[in-house]
């Protein structure tokens, strides 16, 4: 049975084939040599209190259209000025209406770490992320073999980037730990079915070794949820929909950070 994740990854591979025809990996590697070094995002996520990765997100497979976001750079600057630790930028175009252009504009607008949020299935995408200024990349355990996960995690480190390794269940959590992940994101949304299970973080967090940064993802509607995850041991939360669909993104960022601190 084809899952939602399978369908997304299939589209990602088709779009990737077009980009690799236009820009070769050696071209990207040459570009990376001229890009400023990545910011140490892991160090910032380890800061006291609850960190916030604030997301520039136009749409999602579960909710459809969320926000127009004509100026991603302005939104990212708003997040950063309100205290967001890092900015997540969706670059998947079919389901999330993102692009590498969005990543470029956000990178130019903020001084905080930037996450390229996409479905990484090849080394090429990591070189691409770094060439466009990303400091963090997402590795979704459910979409990678163990060998791919270990190789791409190692490459991210070689490129100076932080790898946010995303898990959804006990087996994936063990695979992330075995791969040496130092930042693990626990996604309450099952990408194969799009269902959200609010107990996922509390169930999986005890399986993550001490010293590993724990990030709670999905279904975070505001300050109360952020406080709950902080109490359960989250070092950071990744929030998109609640920020882009509300009337005041800056106030929402401040509320989430205050709740985590409390």
Which residues are annotated as catalytic? 55, 57, 117, 166, 187, 217-218
Three-state secondary structure call for residue 197: coil
Residue 246, C-beta contacts closer than 8 angstroms, at least 6 positions apart: 252
Please give the Cα distance from 235 to 227 (Å, whole number): 11
Residue 107, C-beta contacts closer than 8 angstroms, at least 6 positions apart: 114, 132, 133, 134
Residue 133, C-beta contacts closer than 8 angstroms, at least 6 positions apart: 35, 36, 103, 104, 107, 108, 114
Of the candidates 215, 214, 217, 213, the one whose C-alpha atom is nearest the C-alpha of residue 60 is: 217
Residue with tokens 């100076």: 160
The rounded radius of gyration (Å) of the Cα atoms in the chain is 17
Of the candidates 198, 237, 232, 233, the one whose C-alpha atom is nearest the C-alpha of residue 217 is: 237
């Amino acid at each position: 049975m084809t899952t939602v994740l399978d369908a997304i990854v299939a589209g990602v591979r088709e779009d990737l084939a077009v980009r690799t025809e236009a820009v070769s990996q050696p071209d990207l590697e040459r570009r990376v040599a001229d890009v400023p070094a990545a910011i140490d995002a892991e160090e910032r996520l380890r800061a006291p209190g609850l960190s916030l990765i604030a997301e520039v997100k136009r749409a999602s497979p579960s909710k459809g259209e969320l926000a127009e976001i004509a100026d991603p750079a302005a939104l990212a600057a708003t997040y950063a000025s309100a205290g967001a630790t890092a900015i997540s930028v969706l670059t998947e175009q079919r389901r999330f209406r993102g692009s590498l252009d969005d990543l470029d504009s956000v990178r130019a607008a903020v001084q905080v770490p930037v996450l390229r949020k996409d479905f990484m299935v090849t080394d090429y995408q990591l070189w691409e992320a770094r060439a466009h200024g990303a400091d963090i990349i997402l590795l979704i355990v459910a979409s990678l073999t163990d060998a791919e996960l270990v190789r791409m995690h190692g490459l991210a480190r070689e490129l100076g980037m932080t790898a946010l390794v995303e898990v959804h269940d006990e087996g994936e959590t063990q695979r992330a730990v075995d791969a040496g992940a130092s930042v693990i994101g626990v996604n309450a949304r099952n990408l194969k079915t799009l269902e959200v299970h609010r107990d996922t973080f509390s169930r999986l967090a005890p399986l993550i070794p001490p010293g590993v940064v724990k990030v709670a993802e999905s279904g975070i509607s505001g300050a109360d949820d952020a406080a709950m995850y902080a109490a359960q041991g989250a070092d950071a939360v990744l929030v998109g929909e609640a920020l882009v669909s509300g009337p005041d993104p800056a106030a929402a960022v401040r509320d989430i950070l205050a709740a985590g601190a409390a």
